[in-house]
Structure 1
Amino acid sequence: MDKLMSWMTDSFAPKVNKMAKNPWVASVQSAILTAMPMVFIGSFATILSIVKDYWKGFPDFSLLSTFSFGLFSLFLAYLIPEAVMNNKGHKEVSKQAGLAGLAFFLILVYPTLTAEGQIVFDLNSFGTGGMIAALLAGLFVGIIMNLFSKWKFIDEDSAIPDFVAVWFNT
């Protein structure tokens, strides 16, 4: 047992700590931890829905459970690229990166167009079924925004107002 503890302390833990300090891994970790309250709310609502099966007058909380779990992938699609930009030192475009991640995720889940011209999403792709798509969308947007935020189309010392320069640079 001492050998195992010694190996964990001396060899395994430093490697895991080094990996956890990677900005990409830290961004995913931060995003999941930030969105975790939605999982707790959904879990609590699921437990309350089980009580409804045994007590006939108890309200139905299944919609709350479905809704809170369904928001999880939307939150990840926003939070991952935002955290990537913050961890990479591009705080000025972190919110724009989050919104781009959300938009890219919505494109990835493949909405359909109805005959009436309305866009319809399959709600199953927003919950845990869409987590991988949200993770990939967030990381992809984080990579692209990180690459392009290193290049500036308009310098800070130009005559163009700052907010217009930020728009073009973003």
Structure 2
Amino acid sequence: MDKFVNYLTNTAAPYMKKFVERPWVASIAGSMQKIIPFILAGSMIFLYDVVRTYVSVLPDLTNISNFTFGMLGILISYMVSSEAMENLEHPQYVQMAGLTSIATFLININPSIDDSGIFSVQFERFGATGLLVGMLTGILVAIVFNLWAKLHLLEGSNVPDFLVGWINTIIPT
């Protein structure tokens, strides 16, 4: 047992620490840490619903569960890309990458728009079902923004700063 503990302490732990400190892995880990309150809130409502099946006078709190635990996919898509932009030291793209991830996530969950313009999607695709899609969407958007940021297009030019900002967010979006 001492050999195993020694291996974990001296060999595995330093390697895992280096692995987790990589910007892409840290982005996913940081995002998951930041959405834990949503996960816990939804989980508490699930436990509450167990009690509610035996005590029918308690109010129905399903909407709290639906809009916390049930929205994990869309939340993680925003968080992964914005965390990645922070970890990759591109603070000018944090919000735009997050918002672009949300739009891309909505495209990826296969919504339908009928002839009258009504947008509809299965609600389950926002929750735990969409968690992997949200992570992959966030990573993909972060990769695009990271590659664009490395180009340093129009930096140091005579073009006004606000126009440079617009161009540098519109093109990767």
Q: Same fold (TM over 0.5)?
A: yes
Task: Specify the alignment match of 1:128 in structure 2.
Answer: 128
Task: Specify the alignment match of 1:166 in structure 2.
Answer: 165
Matched, 1:35 2:48: no
CA RMSD of aligned residues (A): 1.1
Identity of aligned residues (%): 31
Q: Distance in 1 between matches of 2:81 and 2:75?
A: 11
Counterpart of 2:21, as a letter, is K
Cα offset for 1:66?
2.1
Unaligned runs of 5+ in 1: none
Counterpart of 2:167, as a letter, is F
TM-score scaled to structure 1, two decimals? Answer: 0.95
CA deviations on 1:115-166 (whole Å, 9 max, x unpaired) are 322111111100000001001000111111100111133223x333212111
TM-score scaled to structure 2, two decimals? Answer: 0.93
| Aligned partners of 2:42 and 2:70 also within 8 Å | no
Cα offset for 1:110?
0.8
- Structure 1 runs of 4+ aligned residues shifted over 3 Å read none
| Aligned partners of 2:105 and 2:133 also within 8 Å | yes
Paired residue total:
169
- SS of structure 2 residue aligned to 1:154: coil
Task: Specify the alignment match of 2:82 in structure 1.
Answer: 82
- SS of structure 2 residue aligned to 1:150: helix
State how 1:131-150 maps to structure 2 within 5 Å. 131-150=131-150
Task: Specify the alignment match of 1:20 in structure 2.
Answer: 20
